[in-house]
Structure 1
C-alpha cells in the first residue's frame, strides 16, 4: 500500500465516522504529540538492556507497533490537512541534512550541525 492509498483509507475511515469536524490542524498536531508521548512511555524507566529484551516480547512488540501506527496515521492527517507531500518533504529534508551534516564532519558524531568542527 502506498502512502497515498493509506491516506485515502484513513480519510474514508475518518469520514465514515464524521470525525473531520474535530480534525483541525491544531487538534491533529496535539494528537500527534500525545501519541508520540505514548510511544515514549513504553521506554520510561528502562535501561537499554531492558529495552532490547522488552521489545522481543510479543505484547510489547504489539504495543510498539500500535503506537508507531498511531503516530504515522496522525502525521498523514496533518499532511493532508496542510497540503504537504510527505515523500517530497522527506526527500527535501534529507537534502538539507546532507548539507548540514556532511559525512566528513558528522561521521560518528552525535553533535548538532552548529557544533561540528570545520
Structure 2
C-alpha cells in the first residue's frame, strides 16, 4: 500500500476473507513490521487519518499513544478489520518516512521496494 501496489480497500477485503486465526496471524506480522519501522505517535495519527477508522476506535487509540501499543491480534474478532486498516495505514506512513530518511539509498530492507504482483506492471 505504501508503494501503491494495492489500495487499502482491496487489502481490507482480502483480510476480511481470512479465517479468524489467519487474521490474528496477519495482525501479529503487520504489528511486527510496524515495530521494526519504529512508528511514532505522529505516524499513528497520520495513519489513522488515512485508515477510514474513527480516531476513537480501540485500534486507533492504541497506535496513537506514545509509545504505541501493539497486541492488535488480541482484540475481539469484530475489531480485526479496523485494526488491520489502522496498522497497514500507519505502517505505510512510517515506511514512507523511513524510505525518505534513514533508508534512502543505503538500505537493504526488501520490503521498501516490493515488486508488482504477477500480471501487473
- TM bucket, shorter chain: 0.3 to 0.5
Return the structure number with greater relative CO, CA threshold 8 A, min gap 6.
2
Larger Rg: 1
TM-score with structure 1 setting the length: 0.32
Would you tell me which structure has more helix in proportion to its own residues?
Answer: 1
TM-score with structure 2 setting the length: 0.32
